[in-house]
Amino acid sequence: MIANVASYCGHTEAGYRGLNKLWDTVKDTGAVEILAFPCNQFGKQEPEELSTIKRFAFEKKGVEFKMMSKIDVNGSSASPVYKYLKKVAGPASITWNFATYFVVSPDGEVHSFSGTPDPLELGVVIDGLIEREL
């Protein structure tokens, strides 16, 4: 699962809480990773350096999943990861932090979920992909 995140977003509390709960339900399967990409493109809500962002996420928000490099998700400077995800699954443009979640199946199929208020809701999708692989 891949998401763009920010430390000073109105969705920070709920987004990290949902991602943490989701991680708690899947981490022992060994079949799922959560990759969080900090992004400062929306309201300048992630202005800090990566070391500060990670300290905030790990110490203040209890994050145990992977925090990746700070990236852009839209425009010409968008990360190749996000360019690919948007190309194969949409949307054409990310609208905000914690607004679009990408779930990549073990066989590389990409599913995009926008407007999902709680990432924990995607647990059913992830469970289905895990069961499909077993």
The per-residue pLDDT for 113 is 96
Per-residue pLDDT tens over the stretch 37-80: 999 999 999 999 999 999 999 999 999 999 999 999 999 999 99
Between CA 29 and CA 133 the distance in angstroms is 12
Is pLDDT above 70 for 89? Answer: yes
Separation of alpha carbons 11 and 57, rounded Å: 14
Distance, CA of 87 to CA of 70 (rounded, Å)? 20
> What pLDDT sits at residue 35?
98
CATH at 17: 3.40.30.10
What are the structure tokens assigned to 54, written together? 């990670």
The residues with which 5 forms a beta bridge, in sequence order, are: 38
CB 123 within 8 A of CB 26: yes
Domain that holds residue 121: 2-133
pTM score of the predicted model: 0.95
Active-site residue, from 2, 3, 6, 9? 9
Mean pLDDT across the chain? 94
Beta bridge partners of 47: none
Known catalytic residue at 9: yes
Q: How many domains does the chain have?
A: 1
pLDDT of residue 118: 87
Q: Which residues of 20-52 are buried (b: 16+ CB within 10 A; e: fewer)?
A: bebbeebeeeeebebebbbbbbbeebbebeeee
Report residue 133's pLDDT band, with 50, 70 and 90 as the boundaries.
low
Residue type, 115: G
What number is the average pLDDT over the span 70-97? 98
What is the structure's pLDDT at 134? Answer: 58
